[in-house]
């Protein structure tokens, strides 16, 4: 059953709500995409720009899933970066390190250029702080700084000690941080809806409230809903943590984790006082807190994760103590919005790109780092569909753990694993 948008700061500040029809009857296109989040929509834009006839079939609304609910942080840190370098070495040899490094900066460029080219209003801003929660987090930040300097990106980053970090974010909790002026933050739902309008203006057809119940494989694949069917030359499954399709091939490989976010009432002058440079901030812990200011001066704060695959019962109660521990000056500030969404977690954290058959592809599992990654994936998938397979093949060759009986056991195992890592981190 299609669901309405979740009640969030983002849904309350949409510039232009989408109103696409349900899929009724039969349709023929070049590429059919299942899912209207960033992965589906970004791929549709890339393909439509190249002249492909594209249809997006979305179960609920465009941007209904994680893409319209996230922290809006366009980070350069990819999930699974180290694992990616190691596994991609098998395919690319020495070039793997350069490939992964390039990926790290590609998503920001794609988003910045698209927003500028098509004039998408999504409160796009620059500047991130990756904050050290403990002194042992500083050497990794220092190493990152040196890597940026060695690769000619030094001008974009600056290492801050404990005193300097307090000048950019008015909290006592950090021991330092890496300032990154290249990374971005934005209103993700307005970006996703804006990109969908771009795809539509380029000829893509979009259908909402149309859950796909089956994908037919074969030389002429099709996506099938209760009332319609899209025939295509190629299909991309982009339902991420929300879809239940193709369990035989995909079951036990991706696990939904519920992430929560709260947004305070507008803070007035306090907004600038706590975050004078309007940075997006996230800390270095395995399960981290992240926050930024909204365009109307609220603090949008996310943190923790429920790896059981179930929703939190009370997100505000969960997050208020974390928010107030970071900013005691906000004690008692009203929380106007609290919501949650499902991110797709992969055991080795390498984004999962692959083929279910000759004509049906999938892309999913960015382990909480999907705003930039989904846009990179959009570019890679569009290239693959138009016959340029190198980058897709590099991802598709990565091995992923399949947890036996994973749909039933995967989340409890993931929760246990995360608990273990958090414990190790506490002792460090």
259 touching ligand FAD, by CB under 6 A: yes
66 touching ligand FAD, by CB under 6 A: yes
Would you say 138 or 275 has its CB closer to ligand FAD?
A: 275
298 touching ligand FAD, by CB under 6 A: no
70 touching ligand FAD, by CB under 6 A: yes
Would you say 120 or 138 has its CB closer to ligand FAD?
A: 120
DSSP string spanning 297-313?
S-EEEEEEEETTSS--S
Whole-number Cα distances in Å, 391 to 32, 81, 82, 151, 178: 21, 15, 17, 21, 30
Which residues in the 300-329 window bind ligand FAD by CB under 6 A?
302
What gap in Å lies between CA 174 and CA 224, rounded to an integer? 51
Would you say 359 or 364 has its CB closer to ligand FAD?
A: 364
Nearest to 130 by CA among 271, 291, 264, 261: 291
**Residue count, binding to ligand FAD (CB under 6 A):** 45
205 touching ligand FAD, by CB under 6 A: no
**Rama region for 80: left / alpha / beta (φ>0; ψ in -120 to 50; rest):** left
Quick one: DSSP state of residue 392?
Answer: H
What gap in Å lies between CA 213 and CA 74, rounded to an integer? 32
The SS3 call for residue 231 is strand
Q: Which of 52, 64, 301, 307 binds ligand FAD (CB under 6 A)?
A: 64
> The tokens of 412 are what?
């409890």
Would you say 125 and 185 are in contact if contact means Cβ atoms under 8 Å apart? yes
69 touching ligand FAD, by CB under 6 A: yes
194 touching ligand FAD, by CB under 6 A: no
Angle (deg, nearest 10), helices 81-92 and 95-118:
110
232 touching ligand FAD, by CB under 6 A: no
Stretch that binds ligand FAD, among 19-27, 60-68, 155-163, 398-406 (CB under 6 A): 60-68
Beta bridge partners of 259: 341
Q: Which of 23, 44, 84, 371 binds ligand FAD (CB under 6 A)?
A: 371
Stretch that binds ligand FAD, among 61-69, 174-182, 246-254, 388-396 (CB under 6 A): 61-69
238 touching ligand FAD, by CB under 6 A: yes
Would you say 138 or 292 has its CB closer to ligand FAD?
A: 292
Stretch that binds ligand FAD, among 29-37, 137-145, 158-166, 193-201 (CB under 6 A): 29-37
Nearest to 189 by CA among 264, 267, 300, 105: 300
Q: Which of 157, 193, 212, 353 binds ligand FAD (CB under 6 A)?
A: 212
Would you say 72 or 410 has its CB closer to ligand FAD?
A: 72
Minimum distance from residue 93 beta carbon to ligand FAD (Å)? 29
What gap in Å lies between CA 159 and CA 139, rounded to an integer? 11
**Location of structure tokens 């590429």:** 31
How many other CB atoms sit within 10 Å of the CB of residue 347? 22
Stretch that binds ligand FAD, among 146-154, 310-318, 340-348, 385-393 (CB under 6 A): 340-348
Stretch that binds ligand FAD, among 139-147, 335-343, 402-410, 411-419 (CB under 6 A): 335-343
Residue environment code for 5-30, b if the CB has 16+ CB neighbours within 10 A, otherwise e: bbebbbbebeeeebebeebeeebebb
79 touching ligand FAD, by CB under 6 A: no
Would you say 261 and 66 are in contact if contact means Cβ atoms under 8 Å apart? no
40 touching ligand FAD, by CB under 6 A: yes
Would you say 72 or 252 has its CB closer to ligand FAD?
A: 72
What gap in Å lies between CA 213 and CA 246, rounded to an integer? 10
Residue 135, CB half-sphere, CA atoms under 13 Å: how many?
A: 0
Stretch that binds ligand FAD, among 69-77, 141-149, 197-205, 392-400 (CB under 6 A): 69-77
Q: Which of 33, 65, 254, 361 binds ligand FAD (CB under 6 A)?
A: 65
> The tokens of 312 are what?
């939190």
242 touching ligand FAD, by CB under 6 A: yes
Nearest to 191 by CA among 203, 199, 181, 182: 199
Would you say 36 and 191 are in contact if contact means Cβ atoms under 8 Å apart? no
Q: Which of 29, 71, 263, 406 binds ligand FAD (CB under 6 A)?
A: 71
239 touching ligand FAD, by CB under 6 A: yes
Q: Which of 8, 11, 35, 148 binds ligand FAD (CB under 6 A)?
A: 35
Interface positions with ligand FAD (CB under 6 A): 34-40, 57-60, 64-67, 69-73, 75, 211-212, 238-243, 245, 259, 261, 290, 302, 341-343, 364, 366, 368-372, 374
């Amino acid at each position: 059953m299609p669901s309405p948008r979740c009640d969030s700061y983002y849904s309350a500040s949409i510039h232009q709500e989408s109103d696409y029809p349900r899929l009724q009857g039969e349709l023929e296109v070049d590429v059919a995409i299942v899912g209207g989040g960033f992965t589906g929509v970004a791929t549709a834009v890339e393909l439509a720009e190249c002249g492909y006839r594209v249809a997006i079939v979305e179960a609920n609304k465009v941007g209904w899933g994680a893409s319209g609910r996230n922290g809006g942080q366009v980070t350069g840190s990819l999930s699974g970066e180290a694992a990616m370098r190691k596994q991609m070495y098998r395919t690319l040899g020495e070039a793997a390190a350069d490939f992964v490094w390039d990926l790290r900066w590609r998503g920001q460029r794609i988003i910045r250029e698209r927003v500028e080219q098509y004039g998408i209003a999504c409160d796009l801003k620059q500047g991130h702080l990756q904050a050290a929660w403990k002194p042992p987090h500083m050497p990794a930040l220092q190493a990152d700084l040196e890597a940026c300097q060695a690769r000619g990106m030094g001008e974009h980053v600056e290492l801050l000690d404990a005193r300097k970090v307090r000048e950019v974010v008015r909290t006592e909790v950090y021991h330092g941080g890496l300032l990154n002026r290249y990374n971005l933050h934005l209103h993700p739902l307005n970006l996703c809806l804006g990109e969908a309008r771009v795809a539509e203006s380029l000829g893509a057809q979009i259908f909402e409230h149309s859950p796909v119940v089956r994908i037919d494989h074969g030389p002429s694949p099709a996506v099938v809903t209760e009332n319609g069917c899209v025939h295509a030359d190629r299909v991309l499954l982009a339902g991420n943590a929300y879809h239940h399709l193709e369990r035989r091939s995909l079951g036990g490989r991706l696990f939904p984790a519920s992430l929560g976010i709260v947004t305070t009432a507008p803070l007035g002058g306090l907004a600038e006082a706590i975050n004078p440079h309007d940075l997006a901030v996230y800390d270095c812990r395995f399960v981290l807190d992240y926050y930024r200011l909204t365009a109307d001066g609220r603090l949008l704060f996310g943190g923790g994760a429920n790896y059981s695959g179930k929703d939190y019962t009370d997100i505000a109660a969960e997050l208020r103590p974390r928010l107030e521990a970071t900013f005691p000056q906000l004690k008692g500030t009203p929380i106007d919005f609290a919501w949650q969404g499902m991110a797709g977690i992969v055991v080795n954290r390498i984004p999962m790109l692959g083929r279910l058959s000759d004509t049906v592809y999938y892309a999913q599992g960015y382990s909480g780092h999907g705003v930039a990654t989904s846009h990179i994936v959009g570019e890679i998938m569009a290239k693959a569909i138009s016959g340029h397979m190198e980058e897709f093949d590099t991802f598709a060759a990565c091995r992923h753990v399949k947890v036996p009986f994973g749909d039933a056991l995967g989340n409890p195992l993931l929760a246990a694993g995360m608990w273990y890592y958090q414990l190790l981190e506490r002792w460090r």
